[in-house]
């Protein structure tokens, strides 16, 4: 913890109740200390920096004005919640952020009563907040519910679905639009602050109420005209007409870094009588208060450990290119030969490598915003008219568009290619970003071609393969992080659909790997060979269509068959088991051991440690083989312990 001389006010704040004992005049200094503490902490742990820096003053103001945790404060995405965590009893653990056994990088219900809703995917806060508000009303309570959502998250349809529902109800819900990209707001200043204070004040709202009641004495057309005249007058002054049309009382825009502007508006909204939802529009600056972040193109959205003075990040030199960069380079090479190839991503151009593709082909790359459902159906339309769309979306983000994958792509057998980044464990981002389910949720769909890259060279070949599949949907998955350092082809060679490969021949044990655990399978084979157990290692490459000939051969020629995948139960192993069972190949005594992710969520940590917990590293494979062969428990335990 920082010394008291550096953070004298922050040292007095263990919980928001302590914060509320401070004088308003002390809050500016407290915010400065909080910002410094956050910068220092993230310099040690890495993580999301820019978003949290942008909401320091807003976080202080919200906890000062509202009675958290009785009042429910919900952060959308919640990658901006580090200042919130420091103020809510977690300062002593803030330097464990995103570390194994430490604090989550997002809000977490199991972590604190001040985190009423866990989040890491975008655009959920208004829906959750409305649920809390209606539950409060049904129970006859009087607490406030506040949802904080960013302007980027407002690009998702779910936010508007929630606003439309909230606007048609009478439940009091406070939504704070944190506009840190100036994408909505006009200039903010003294006049804007004055107008915001005025229209959020009780006298204005009371006069508005009286005028509304008076207008009800007139015929319906006059009532409607009077209401719309007042709303549009305020909308023209403040820019909130869209939100008024959705049924929200709009206040703003206000400077989200100016406590003299924030506090009176929040007080007015807190103390306002009446019902219905209110939206407060705050304009903030991502990376505020830290020069290296303010000057960076991405405002230091996500950072590694860094030097506080210089802002230089301490990123280790990679031993091999990242899977994401290999995908981007491979797609560019394919697109240079085929002008029908286009790339689509949903607000993650940098994370998926589509930014590199866009640099090369600016007219053929599309970032549709946080709108995965739209992205998938958009790709369907492109495919219908002869183009070759690559929908490049993280595994866990693609979950949000599952209905579109089923209805708009699979049923119509459209050749959309799904490039699925972040397959398997993802390290510090934790459970919300782990690609555990795509093998299962795509594998149930008829006609899909499913591939998984065992290494970065295989990924190059799978990009080339997907580019040539033109009669049905396909998907290929690959992990986060760097590759294995294998020799790379200049350009991908299309694979034979539904055919795997033998990596190492053996006679006793067979390991059939689907995806990037192949390296661990080879290590396990070395260990087993040293114990006198000849081991075959095979790379399935395809889950659908399954290489049935390869599966049957491995089952016939080996005493033990182990399947290995970075996915939940119901994925690749299920297809292998189904085939072996229906062909009677389990009737002759084959010892089959499926190795999948366990039926539980695995918290953030280093990827290797996550796979240790999942039981999918080389020593766990060896233990499975020994157990299947009847080795005694002591031997098996000595391997797996």
Q: Cα(206)–Cα(97) distance, rounded to whole angstroms?
A: 46
**Alpha carbon distance 443, 573 (integer Å):** 11
Q: How far is CA 350 from the centre of its chain?
A: 14
Three-state SS string across 160-172, please? HHHHHHHHCCCCC
Residue 372 annotated as binding? Answer: yes
454-469 burial by CB neighbour count: b if 16+ within 10 A, else e? bbbbbbbbbbbbbbbb
The rounded distance, in Å, linking the Cα atoms of 620 and 626 is 10
Contact 548, 461 (CB under 8 A): no
407 is in an annotated binding site: no
Using CA atoms, how far apart are residues 332 and 350, in angstroms rounded to an integer?
Answer: 15
Using DSSP bridges, classify how beta strands 535-539 and 501-504 pair: parallel, antiparallel or unpaired: antiparallel
Alpha carbons 221 and 178: distance in angstroms, whole number: 36
Name the E strands within 395-470: 417-421, 449-452
504 assigned to active site: no
- Nearest 5°: the CA angle 93, 96, 101 is 100
Tell whether 180 is in a known binding site.
yes
SS3 content of the chain, % helix, strand, coil (to 5): 45, 15, 40
151 is in an annotated binding site: yes
Does the annotation place 612 within a ligand binding site?
no
Single out the catalytic residue among 90, 172, 205, 286: 286
Three-class SS of residue 515? coil
Is 120 annotated as belonging to a binding site?
A: yes
DSSP-derived 3-state class of residue 621: helix
Bridge partners (DSSP) listed for residue 279: 175, 250
Catalytic residue among 37, 57, 334, 372: 372
Is residue 419 part of an annotated ligand binding site? no
Residue tagged active-site, from 91, 400, 477, 517? 400
Verify whether residue 520 is a known catalytic residue: no
Tokens for 562, please give them.
């182990």
290 is in an annotated binding site: yes
**Sign (positive or negative) of CA dihedral 550, 593, 625, 602:** positive
Please, are residues 471 and 442 in contact by the beta-carbon 8 Å criterion? no
DSSP class of residue 108 equals -
CA dihedral 291, 296, 301, 303 (to 10 degrees): -80
Is residue 505 annotated as part of the catalytic site, yes or no? no
Q: Which residues are documented as binding site?
A: 79, 120-122, 151-153, 180, 290, 372
Task: Catalogue the active-site residues.
Answer: 286, 372, 400
Q: Which residues are documented as binding site for thiamine diphosphate?
A: 79, 120-122, 152-153, 180, 290, 372
Q: Which residues are documented as binding site for Mg(2+)?
A: 151, 180
């Amino acid at each position: 913890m920082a010394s008291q001389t550096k953070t004298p006010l922050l040292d007095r704040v263990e919980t928001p109740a302590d914060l509320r004992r401070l004088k308003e005049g002390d809050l500016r200094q407290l915010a400065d200390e909080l910002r410094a503490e956050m910068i220092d902490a993230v310099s040690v742990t890495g993580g999301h920096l820019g978003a949290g820096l942008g909401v320091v003053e807003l976080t202080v103001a919200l906890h000062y004005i509202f009675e958290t945790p009785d009042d429910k404060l919900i952060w959308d995405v919640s990658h901006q919640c580090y200042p919130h965590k420091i103020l809510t009893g977690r300062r002593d653990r803030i330097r464990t952020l995103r570390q194994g056994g430490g604090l989550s990088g997002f809000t977490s219900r199991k972590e604190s009563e001040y985190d009423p809703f866990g989040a890491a995917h975008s655009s959920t806060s208004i829906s959750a907040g409305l649920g809390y508000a209606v539950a409060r009303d049904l129970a006859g309570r009087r607490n406030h519910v506040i949802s904080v959502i960013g302007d980027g998250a407002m690009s998702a349809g779910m936010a508007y679905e929630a606003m439309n529902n909230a606007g048609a109800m009478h439940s009091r819900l406070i939504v704070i639009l944190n506009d840190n990209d100036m994408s909505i707001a006009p200039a903010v200043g003294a006049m804007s602050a004055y107008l915001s204070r005025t229209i959020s004040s009780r006298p204005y709202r009371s006069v508005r109420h009286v005028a509304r009641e008076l207008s009800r004495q007139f015929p319906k057309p006059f009532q409607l005209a009077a209401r719309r005249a007042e709303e549009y007058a305020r909308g023209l002054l403040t820019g909130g007409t869209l939100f008024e049309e959705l049924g929200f009382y709009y206040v703003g825009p206000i400077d989200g870094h100016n406590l003299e502007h924030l506090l009176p508006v929040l007080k007015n909204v807190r103390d306002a009588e009446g019902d219905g939802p209110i939206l407060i529009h705050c304009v903030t600056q991502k990376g505020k208060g830290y020069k290296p972040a303010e000057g960076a193109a991405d405002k230091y959205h996500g950072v590694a450990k860094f030097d506080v003075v210089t802002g230089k990040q301490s990123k280790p030199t990679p031993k091999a290119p990242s899977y994401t960069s290999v995908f981007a380079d491979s797609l560019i090479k394919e697109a240079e030969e085929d002008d029908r190839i286009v790339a689509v991503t949903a607000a993650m151009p940098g994370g998926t490598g589509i930014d590199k593709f866009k640099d090369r082909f600016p007219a053929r790359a599309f970032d549709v915003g946080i709108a995965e459902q739209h992205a998938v159906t958009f790709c369907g339309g492109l495919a219908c008219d002869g183009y070759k769309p690559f929908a490049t979306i993280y595994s866990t983000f693609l979950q949000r568009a599952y209905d579109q994958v089923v209805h708009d792509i699979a049923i119509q057998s459209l050749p959309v290619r799904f490039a699925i980044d972040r397959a398997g464990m993802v390290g510090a981002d934790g459970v919300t970003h782990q690609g555990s389910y795509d093998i299962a949720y795509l594998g149930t769909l008829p006609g899909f071609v499913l591939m998984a890259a065992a290494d970065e060279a295989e990924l190059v070949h799978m990009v080339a393969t997907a580019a040539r599949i033109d009669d049905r949907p396909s998907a290929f998955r690959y992990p986060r992080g760097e590759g294995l350092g294998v020799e790379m082809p200049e350009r991908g060679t299309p694979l034979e659909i539904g055919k795997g490969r033998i990596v190492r021949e053996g006679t006793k044990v067979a390991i059939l790997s689907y995806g990037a655990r192949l390296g661990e399978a080879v290590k396990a084979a070395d260990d087993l060979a040293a114990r006198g157990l000849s081991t075959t290692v095979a790379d399935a490459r395809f889950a659908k269509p399954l290489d049935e000939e390869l599966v049957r051969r491995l089952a016939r020629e080996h005493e033990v068959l182990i399947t290995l995948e970075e996915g939940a139960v119901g994925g690749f192993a299920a297809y292998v088991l189904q085939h072996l069972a229906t062909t009677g190949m389990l009737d002759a005594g084959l010892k089959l051991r499926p190795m999948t992710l366990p039926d539980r969520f695995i918290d953030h940590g280093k990827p290797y440690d996550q796979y240790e917990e999942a039981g999918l590293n080389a020593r766990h494979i060896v233990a499975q083989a020994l157990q299947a062969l009847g080795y005694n428990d002591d031997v098996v335990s000595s391997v797996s312990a």
